[in-house]
Structure 1
Amino acid sequence: MTVLLTLVVARSVQAVDDDAAGATEESFRAQGEGPWELLTTTGAGPVSDRLNAALRRARGRFAAVVEAGDRLEPGALAAVRGVLDDLAGRGAEPDVLYTDEQWPADGAAGIFAKPRWVPRYLEGYPYLGRMCFVRPELVERAGGFREDFAPAREWDLALRVTELDVAVAHVPVLGVARTHAPAADPVAAEAGRRAVAARYERLGIPAVVELTGDDDGQAPGFVRVWRQVEDPPLVSVVVPTAGGSRAVRGTETVLVTNALRSLAARTTYPAWEVVLVPSEHTAAEVLAECAEILGDRLRLAPVAGPFNFSRSVNTGVGAARGELVLLLNDDTEVIEPRWLERMVAVASEDGVGVVGAKLLFDDERIQHTGITFDHDGEATHVHIFEEDGPGHFGSTVVDLDFLAITGACLLVPRAVFTEVGGFTESLPLNYNDVDFCLKVGATGRTVVCTPFARLHHFESSSRVARIEDDERAALAWWDHRKHLDPYVNVRGV
């Protein structure tokens, strides 16, 4: 029988691994007869050397590594084979494919339900994890496992293999239950950071690669990449407003002046202007205060008639001079000085069309870290009302691709905005941002949310947007794209 899948069990040299390896082997035998084989690392010496030696002995077209003690879930190998057969039948057999996994209760308990292949996610977190099957010849071509990146050797190898213009597929089944959660200690985190930094050095892309932590308000131990942007382009910040007010931290506050004060006081990005789009109801004294705050950075583009957010946005962008346009609600407040640098850096990447930010309610719970679609096809904010933590395996602390992000803070190249026809004015209040992002996505560009740009959004946490029949009909044009959501695990998790 031709071997399709090889499973390599990584053992240490201690005899204590015997029982653990036995548990793994038992779970492998429970897979039944099939085109697969089991190998175990042998001998002494560095773990990476022994893994590379085992892979050279592999007969399978694909090989994956597990740790002694990991248990394969029933039917896991058959599920991997089924996906391979299906893709091969369509002439699309991958080079790399990965399954979901179960983590133990003494670590970050729960099922790691993974998204589709998102290269950006891999640069912030080793999400391919286990089981990850790779063609052995690609492992060899990439240079194999490297001991100087232990304990992030699997992450380092995944980064190098996926640089080889490979096809990657997700097998949406629970493949393995880990015996240990991946190490979350500073040594492991630093090894991962070095692996990502080495990737950018290989690609020749100037970037600063850092660990998340207290200085950015994010959960520690993940990786952030700051691409270097020379000659920062002008950003036109478009702010529609009616000059309204509400209580903020117990004090009645004019929202737009509060937003502009925070923008002027905390933003370190050098090249920006504000295009304020006041409605006919905006008081003259509010506009005078805005001018006092911003001086010659302010430009006005008044709009008349009933409030239509989409028309206000289009009017503001029409008056913008910047290469990049940032749509910003008047009920927001800047938190971090480098927020705009971060968004511009992500927007500078090839293929990126829209960039969004992490938005928090005034009680510091999450309001926005990206938009996805629920089982009924309705747009919904990911992680809304949750505490500002690491999310689902880093999903709120690393850059991620989505189908859409909120228009409350949305950065887009002005040329892209014009290319897709701007905001759809037949969507005056709700879902115009979702529609816009789907239009940009239809051009082949990606929509990214970065948590390293954080703002408060004083939208009421009890407000629920009501979708009207005409809005529902407009969004129905995009039903064919909703199943392409890169964030959501196809099992609906």
Structure 2
Amino acid sequence: MKTGFRSQFDSAQDYDLFFRVIEQTQRIHHIPRVLYHWRRSESSSAISVRQKPEQLEASRLAIEAHLKRRGESAHVGVDWRTHAFCVRRRLLEAKKISVIVSTCHGLELLERCIESLTNRTSYPNYEIVIVNYDEFHGASAFPSHFPYRTVRFSGEANDSALKNFAVNQTNDPWILFLGEGIEPIERDWLTIMAEHVQRPEVGVVGGRLLNPNATVEQAGMVVGVNKTAQPAFHGFPAEHPGANRQLQVTRNCSGVSSACMLTRRDVFQEAGGFDESLEGALADVDLCLKLRHAGYLIVYTPFAKLCWHRAPSHQIDMKGEAIMRERWAGVLRRDPYYNPNLSRERADFSLGK
């Protein structure tokens, strides 16, 4: 590694240095204390990054150089609205995806989901698998111009068992769990998620889930907030930047929802699937934490936008909460992606009391 700062990255020389450091080691630790106050002047980018537009270009070039050294083919762009960077990786192979849609709320919601999925998905290689309980008989009857197949689960009502069963009825290398109330907003959503799941270090990818009223339902999950976990930026306007633009940038997090969760089959099986003693959001977080413990990253991307009709209410599962506190006590005390100085009541990245 070339040592020190490099003049071709002036105004972003520290950014370039940090990239070269993380390419050499993972022994990097964060001290959650205010140890340095950034000086501010009228010409400082601390006031506005537009004060030094060359800094954005130097930073973009540092990201490009980092990706090139890692052998990753990607395009790095600047979102001028937020002044954040957007990295679009080249999809090496559009592997086949089993899109597993579990249903229990009736035919109308399911039909809307499937029709929007087929009309607003540019990804070329996927199959739709509808899984439902034996007592639900509508899924095999509704018309669709896109082929799909239906599998029936005869066990007791258990959301986690239903999903595990559905996975065992498929054999594609990648798996997408999709809630029946989910509708894609833009056609490239699944391609964007696939760009990340192809990375060996990534275990699970989730998107930005919005409510019909254009507010955020979920942008990843933060653990240890409001007991076990809470969706990040819940209730924020859909295009709000969030604290430090966290709502609008691709980032690692501790969990995402299985309402829209893309993973690789081998990774899912390595984790043992969903824990059938847990359901709903707790089962989702548990799966993600198992993958984090195994060394995989959980990625949230805001560029895969979907609308979530009829999102479930946030009910308290005392038994499930107890299991999570016993199993993940250390992580619940300190989410590695959420500064301990931030709020423990709301997962909105605001300062705590």
- Please tell me the TM-score bracket, short chain as reference: 0.7 to 0.9
- Equivalent position of 2:3 in the other structure: 142
How many residues get paired? 334
Q: How does 1:275-354 map to 2 (within 5 A)?
A: 275-284=129-138, 286-289=139-142, 291-295=143-147, 298-354=148-204
For the pair 1:176 / 2:37, whether they are aligned, the reply is: yes
Using the TM superposition, give the Cα deviation of residue 188 of structure 1 relative to its aligned residue in structure 2, in angstroms: 3.6
User: TM-score, with normalisation over the residues of structure 2?
Assistant: 0.86
Using the TM superposition, give the Cα deviation of residue 204 of structure 1 relative to its aligned residue in structure 2, in angstroms: 2.4
User: TM-score, with normalisation over the residues of structure 1?
Assistant: 0.63
Superposed CA deviations along residues 317-365 of structure 1, whole A, max 9, x for unmatched, are 1112210101000001001211111111111112211111111111211
Is contact 1:301-1:316 (8 Å) kept? yes
CA distance in 2, matches of 1:326, 1:490: 32
CA distance in 2, matches of 1:279, 1:427: 18
CA distance in 2, matches of 1:189, 1:357: 26
Using the TM superposition, give the Cα deviation of residue 276 of structure 1 relative to its aligned residue in structure 2, in angstroms: 0.5
Superposed CA deviations along residues 80-126 of structure 1, whole A, max 9, x for unmatched, are xxxxxxxxxxxxxxxxxxxxxxxxxxxxxxxxxxxxxxxxxxxxxxx
Determine helix, strand or coil for the equivalent of 2:153.
Answer: coil
Structure 2: unaligned runs, 5 residues or longer:
343-350
Task: Evaluate the alpha carbon distance shift between residue 313 and residue 230 of structure 1 in structure 2; reply closer, same or farther with a 3 A threshold.
Answer: same
- Equivalent position of 1:487 in the other structure: 337
CA distance in 2, matches of 1:161, 1:418: 33
Superposed CA deviations along residues 442-484 of structure 1, whole A, max 9, x for unmatched, are 2121211111111111235xx6422223212221212123245
Task: Evaluate the alpha carbon distance shift between residue 178 and residue 307 of structure 1 in structure 2; reply closer, same or farther with a 3 A threshold.
Answer: farther
Using the TM superposition, give the Cα deviation of residue 275 of structure 1 relative to its aligned residue in structure 2, in angstroms: 1.1
- Equivalent position of 2:322 in the other structure: 473
Superposed CA deviations along residues 278-335 of structure 1, whole A, max 9, x for unmatched, are 2234343x5322x52322xx12111235532112111211112210101000001001
Using the TM superposition, give the Cα deviation of residue 428 of structure 1 relative to its aligned residue in structure 2, in angstroms: 3.6
Q: Which moved more, 1:358-367 or 1:467-476?
A: 467-476
- The structure with higher relative contact order (CA 8 Å, sep 6+) is 2
Is contact 2:5-2:13 (8 Å) kept? no
Superposed CA deviations along residues 30-61 of structure 1, whole A, max 9, x for unmatched, are xxxxxxxxxxxxxxxxxxxxxxxxxxxxxxxx
Letter in 1 for 2:247: T
- Equivalent position of 1:363 in the other structure: 213
Letter in 1 for 2:319: D
Using the TM superposition, give the Cα deviation of residue 377 of structure 1 relative to its aligned residue in structure 2, in angstroms: 3.6
Using the TM superposition, give the Cα deviation of residue 183 of structure 1 relative to its aligned residue in structure 2, in angstroms: 4.1
Structure 1: unaligned runs, 5 residues or longer:
1-137, 214-218, 246-253
Letter in 2 for 1:207: A
- Equivalent position of 1:165 in the other structure: 25
For the pair 1:432 / 2:283, whether they are aligned, the reply is: yes
Letter in 2 for 1:399: T
- Equivalent position of 1:416 in the other structure: 267
- Equivalent position of 1:227 in the other structure: 89
Is contact 1:373-1:380 (8 Å) kept? yes
| Aligned CA-pair RMSD | 2.3
Determine helix, strand or coil for the equivalent of 1:344.
Answer: helix
Letter in 2 for 1:211: V
For the pair 1:457 / 2:308, whether they are aligned, the reply is: yes
Is contact 1:351-1:446 (8 Å) kept? yes
Using the TM superposition, give the Cα deviation of residue 197 of structure 1 relative to its aligned residue in structure 2, in angstroms: 1.1
Superposed CA deviations along residues 102-157 of structure 1, whole A, max 9, x for unmatched, are xxxxxxxxxxxxxxxxxxxxxxxxxxxxxxxxxxxx8xx335142x4344333233
Is contact 1:260-1:293 (8 Å) kept? no
Letter in 1 for 2:322: A
CA distance in 2, matches of 1:302, 1:471: 26
